Amino acid sequence: MVERKKKTSPVKINYLIDFIIFVAFLAAMDPHMTGIAIHEWLSIAFGAAIITHLLLHWRWLAATTRRIFSKVARQARVNYILNTLFFIDMTLVIFTGIMISEEALPLLGIRLEPGFIWRTLHSLSSDAALFLLGLHVALHWKWIVSTTKRYVLKPMISIRLGKVRQEVSA
């Protein structure tokens, strides 16, 4: 008998990765909470997370890029412009963070001349990133709510109901 492997839904994977990225973003945004070393390493790892996020949404990205100057829904156009700004901003945050690194790069034996401009740019771009993340989440709010209901709330309710039924039957 051939056993079929149960395939995990791509929506589920997207949801999980996006949730991890969101939590990592909040943690990385606050070096006073994590400490400088974790802040720096987490932010460098964040680059890989952004690449993964973009790869998972590549179809939408490629299709919208092709149609952006012709026929495309307004919502998609706004989303595309916002996402482009967010990508530029996050690249700036990570790059300027590397330029003023105090822990991560010196540990690898790399020492850069820290500059006021890099520090200012890092501060400005990370403030902008928080604002852009807010807009990014807001524009995908319907998807977040429906996916949370489907993959988090419903399973939790069904588990709870199952336990109650077991207790009643016992």
Task: Pick between residue 20 and residue 137 the one whose CB is nearest to other proteins.
Answer: 137
Q: Which is nearer to other proteins, 55 or 108 (CB)?
A: 55
**CA pair distance 134, 145, nearest whole angstrom:** 15
Q: Which is nearer to other proteins, 127 or 165 (CB)?
A: 127
Residue with tokens 């943690």: 27
CB of 134 to other proteins, least distance (A): 3
What distance in Å separates the CA atoms of residue 19 and residue 11, rounded to the nearest whole number? Answer: 12
Q: Judged by CB under 8 A, which stretch of 9-17, 23-31, 149-157, 162-170 contacts other proteins?
A: 23-31
| Smallest gap from residue 33 Cβ to other proteins (A) | 5
Q: How far is the CB of 2 from other proteins (least distance, A)?
A: 28
DSSP code per residue over 111-146: -----HHHHHHHHHHHHHHHHHHHHHHHHTHHHHHH
